[in-house]
Chains A and B, each alone.
Chain A
Amino acid sequence: MRVIELHRSVTESNDRDAARLRAELKEKGVLLINLMSAPGAGKTTLLIRIITDLRGKLSIAVLEADIEASVDAERIEALGARSVQVHTDGMCHMDAGMTRTGLEALDLDGIDLAFLENIGNLICPAEYDTGAGLNLMISGVPEGDDKPLKYPLMYKESQALVLSKLDTLPYFDFDVEKFRERVLFLNPGIRIFPVSARTGEGMEALEQWLSEETAKWQEREEHA
């Protein structure tokens, strides 16, 4: 027996897989967005709205991993968008290997923008790089404005945040300014989109951002 010193984070081999997947997706011109939230924050509802609004502008596909609802993939397919449900066998997050397997089943030919609906959980998904180009987090008004204090990592790891279910503001004592301040303290560069997928309020700004980010991702680096 000999001792081998490693001092390696358990996520290191996943980080390598994720970097490889991201480079391949860049090459293909597919922007993968990793959508993370607590269960029921409104991921599927938001996706349905986005797919409907951007029809004819962007070709969108969805990889469904949320264990909460096996009907999610069917709801997406009913809109005519490509969708695959991955079976996560009780895992608490998606890693790069599972994401790759799911994307292979999805077939990305002709797709501009793909969403990974990650497993509803505010802790574990933030710890594992999926290989996505961007992390988008959803936090719903009914969850309260103190969530950034309790689950800081996901707010730090996300490039953008959707504050969802804005139409329910009158029923909760949710302080939008305080929430914004807490999020920006954790992550000064994050984009925040207050949205209601039900009334459509705020959707235009979010969809504009998605279109711009997809175009940026698809830009070829001219200098060689």
Chain B
Amino acid sequence: MHELSVVLHIAKTLDELAEENRLSRIGSVTLQVGEVSGIMTDYFTECWDYFKKKHPLLSDSRLKLETLPAVTFCEGCRQEYETVRYGRICPYCGSERTYLLTGNECIIKEIEAEDQ
């Protein structure tokens, strides 16, 4: 149920934002999702559509998903490579001393909203 949890956190952030900015309705939410964030986008959209019906601020909102590529850095040879393609082991030097630079994030990029 990771996806539904994430939806709940987003809704909470948007509730706070709507209150601070006196927004009445949110038309769209653009979310940037890292390739290895563990979020399944199809299932996430289903969760969103299920949840929004019960949440007036979001009931007509459209979800726009953008994917952020995952990039890993190798400490062995100090090069970067595509995480999804090569995984944890550096394709250049075979080192295991690698870490993720980007691709893990889940960011609310922007929303479209109507004022009260």
A positions within 8 Å CB-CB of B: 1-14, 90-93, 95, 97, 123-124, 149, 152-153, 185
Q: Which residue of A has the minimal Cβ distance to B99?
A: A152
A10 touches B27 (CB 8 A): no
A90 and B107 in contact, given A2-B115, A12-B13, A13-B16 (Cβ under 8 angstroms): no
**How many cross-chain pairs have Cβ atoms below 8 Å apart between A and B?**
74
Asked whether any CB of chain A lies closer than 8 Å to the CB of B6, the reply is yes
Minimal beta-carbon separation of B94 from chain A (angstroms): 15
A10 touches B17 (CB 8 A): no
A124 touches B108 (CB 8 A): no
B1 touches A92 (CB 8 A): yes
Minimal beta-carbon separation of A91 from chain B (angstroms): 5
From residue 74 to 111 of chain B, which have CB atoms closer than 8 A to chain A?
88, 96-97, 99, 104-111
Q: What band does the interface of chain B fall in when counting residues whose beta carbon is under 8 Å from A?
A: 20 to 34
Complex Cα spacing A97 to B13, Å: 13
B112 touches A91 (CB 8 A): no
Minimal beta-carbon separation of B39 from chain A (angstroms): 10
Which residues of chain A are within 8 angstroms of B54 by Cβ–Cβ distance?
none
Q: Can you list 5 pairs linking A and B with CB atoms under 8 Å apart?
A: A10-B107, A11-B9, A90-B4, A95-B5, A123-B2
Which residues of chain B are within 8 angstroms of A3 by Cβ–Cβ distance?
110-112
Complex Cα spacing A7 to B108, Å: 5
Minimal beta-carbon separation of A214 from chain B (angstroms): 31
* Nearest 4 A/B pairs, CB to CB: A13-B13, A90-B1, A5-B110, A1-B112
A13 touches B5 (CB 8 A): no
From residue 9 to 29 of chain B, which have CB atoms closer than 8 A to chain A?
9-10, 12-13, 16-17, 21, 27
A95 touches B9 (CB 8 A): yes
Complex Cα spacing A92 to B39, Å: 13
A1 and B27 in contact, given A92-B1, A95-B9, A149-B96 (Cβ under 8 angstroms): yes
A10 touches B113 (CB 8 A): no
Complex Cα spacing A8 to B9, Å: 12
Which residues of chain B are within 8 angstroms of A149 by Cβ–Cβ distance?
88, 96
Tell me which of B12, B99, B109, B113 contacts A7 (CB under 8 A): B109
Which residues of chain A are within 8 angstroms of B42 by Cβ–Cβ distance?
none
- Chain B 51-87, CB-CB to A under 8 Å as 1, else 0, gives 0000000000000000000000000000000000000
A2 touches B112 (CB 8 A): yes
A13 touches B112 (CB 8 A): no
Best-surrounded residue of B31, B108, B114 (most CB of chain A within 10 A): B108
Minimal beta-carbon separation of A3 from chain B (angstroms): 5
B110 touches A6 (CB 8 A): yes
Contacts A1-B112, A1-B113, A5-B110 supplied; 16 other A-B pairs, CB < 8 Å: A3-B110, A4-B110, A4-B113, A5-B109, A7-B109, A10-B13, A10-B106, A10-B107, A10-B108, A13-B12, A90-B1, A90-B4, A91-B4, A95-B9, A124-B38, A149-B88
Which residues of chain B are within 8 angstroms of A2 by Cβ–Cβ distance?
112-115
